[in-house]
């Protein structure tokens, strides 16, 4: 409303100037002020759904002053017709650049949305897989119980009731675990990282008998606040990638070491490694180096490590193996704002 009033009143001075000789024509000033008011309110009320920083506003001011200077120089150096043609061509180029940039942003937003939907679809598929077997067992038990009750034989039904109770607990655990994996909500408890690594290495030896495992675990690592139920599948993903990188066998070296106030877990394989492009995108969602991969493994590992307050790094060289380094803080991490109220700490 203010912009409308200012623009209208000052714009009318161009008409009144013909009747009132002492009144200057202020139409151009009205256009400038009304545009400034609209721009200020757009920024203040965030009508474009964008937060503009002072640096962005300063850059826009410099661009505006540069535009004014370009106008002055153009009209001073060339005839008005030539200057107008040059300025019009520049305006068309800038407009085209803005439109292309807006189209690219919209395309990126649609691609991000598609990736999020695909991620939700994969989690749904995993949950369906986790629930299928216990539900089938429950259905079979219920059908058997109905048949037995109908025939009057009830003396040996206790084991089926126990089976049904076990399957219900499996469903509950699967739902809780999938919910936590989807949102990566750690439930921290005091645990032994070396014991977890030792158990995982022992399991991997049985799963991949053609692979040689070498473990060097720092014995002085103190108990840490961890969520082993989240860390276990994350570390299994790293081991699985390392094993698949060595189809003809090789060596996987596992190491834990104290680094200041953190513990560094390194899983190094002697496989084919990755080229610079693969290394750059290794932690991106849905990026996979094999046709059967989901592209969610290392992304999930990254989310779990960051939820613990740590970081992940990948060091690799083509045909020289890959090392995945996970740095986890020893003390309880400060929960980021997005996880406040979600991280629950329990001490065994």
Residue keyed to tokens 């053609």: 210
Pick the closest to residue 300 from 326, 280, 276 (CA basis): 326
The radius of gyration of the chain from alpha carbons, rounded to an integer in Å, stands at: 33
DSSP reduced 3-state for 26: coil
Pair 290, 271: CB distance under 8 Å:
no
Interior/surface letters 112-147, b for 16+ CB within 10 angstroms, e for the rest: eeeeeeebeebbeebbeebbeebeebbeebeeeeee
Q: Which helix (H) or strand (E) holds 312?
A: strand 311-316
Residue 287 pLDDT? 52
CA 59, CA 54: separation in Å to the nearest integer? 8
Residue 342 pLDDT? 39
Residue 47 CA: distances (Å) to CA of 39, 43, 99, 314? 10, 7, 19, 41
Residues 6 or more apart whose Cβ sits within 8 Å of residue 200: 232, 235, 236, 239
Residue 340 pLDDT? 35
Q: Where are the domains of the chain?
A: 2-106, 114-183, 187-345
CA 154, CA 244: separation in Å to the nearest integer? 51
Give me 315's structure tokens: 């060091």
CA 138, CA 126: separation in Å to the nearest integer? 19
DSSP reduced 3-state for 335: coil
Q: Using a CB cutoff of 8 Å and minimum separation of 24, what contacts does 158-165 make?
A: 163/137, 164/137, 164/138
For 187-345, CATH number?
A: 3.30.565.10
pLDDT (tens digit, 0 to 9) for every residue of the chain, 348 residues total? 888 898 888 888 777 766 777 777 777 888 888 888 888 887 777 666 566 677 877 888 888 788 778 777 777 777 777 777 777 777 788 888 888 888 888 888 777 777 766 766 666 666 666 676 677 777 777 777 777 776 766 656 666 666 677 777 777 766 665 665 566 667 788 889 999 999 888 888 877 888 899 999 999 988 888 888 888 888 888 898 888 888 888 899 999 999 888 999 999 998 888 777 777 766 765 555 554 444 456 777 888 888 888 998 888 887 778 899 999 998 644 444 343 333 333 333
Give me 94's structure tokens: 């800038």
Residue 289 pLDDT? 55
Residue 263 pLDDT? 93
CA 303, CA 284: separation in Å to the nearest integer? 11
Q: How many helices (H) and strands (E) does the chain have?
A: 9, 8
Residue 58 pLDDT? 83
Residue 265 pLDDT? 93
Give the β-pairing of 262-269 and 322-329. Answer: antiparallel
The DSSP output letter for 267 is: E
């Amino acid at each position: 409303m203010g912009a409308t009033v200012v623009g209208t009143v000052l714009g009318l001075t161009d008409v009144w100037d013909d009747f009132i000789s002492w009144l200057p024509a202020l139409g151009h000033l009205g256009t400038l002020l009304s545009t400034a008011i609209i721009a200020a309110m757009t920024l203040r009320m965030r009508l474009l759904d964008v937060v503009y920083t002072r640096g962005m506003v300063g850059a826009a001011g410099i661009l505006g002053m540069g535009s004014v200077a370009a106008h002055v120089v153009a009209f001073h150096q060339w005839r008005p017709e030539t200057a107008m043609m040059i300025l019009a061509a520049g305006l068309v180029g800038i407009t085209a650049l803005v439109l292309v940039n807006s189209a690219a942003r919209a395309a990126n937003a649609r691609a991000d949305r598609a990736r999020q939907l695909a991620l939700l679809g994969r989690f749904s598929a995993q949950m369906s897989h986790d629930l299928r077997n216990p539900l089938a067992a429950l259905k079979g038990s219920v059908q058997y119980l109905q048949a037995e009750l109908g025939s009057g034989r009830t003396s040996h039904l206790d084991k089926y009731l126990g089976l049904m109770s076990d399957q219900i607990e499996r469903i509950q655990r699967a739902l809780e675990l999938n919910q936590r994996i989807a949102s990566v909500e750690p439930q921290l408890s005091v645990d032994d990282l070396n014991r977890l690594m030792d158990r995982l290495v022992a399991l991997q030896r049985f799963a991949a008998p053609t692979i040689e495992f070498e473990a060097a675990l720092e014995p002085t690592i103190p108990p840490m606040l961890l969520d082993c139920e989240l860390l276990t599948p994350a570390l299994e993903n790293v081991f699985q990638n390392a094993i698949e990188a060595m189809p003809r066998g090789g060596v996987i070296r596992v190491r834990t070491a104290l680094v200041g106030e953190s513990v560094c877990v390194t899983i190094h394989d002697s496989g084919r490694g990755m080229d610079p492009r693969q290394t750059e995108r290794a932690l991106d969602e849905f990026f996979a180096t094999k046709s059967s991969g989901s592209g969610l493994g290392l992304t999930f590992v990254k989310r779990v490590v960051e939820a613990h307050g740590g970081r992940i790094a990948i060091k690799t060289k083509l045909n020289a193996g890959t090392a995945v380094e996970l740095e986890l803080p020893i003390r309880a991490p400060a929960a980021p704002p997005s996880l406040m109220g979600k991280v629950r700490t329990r001490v065994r």
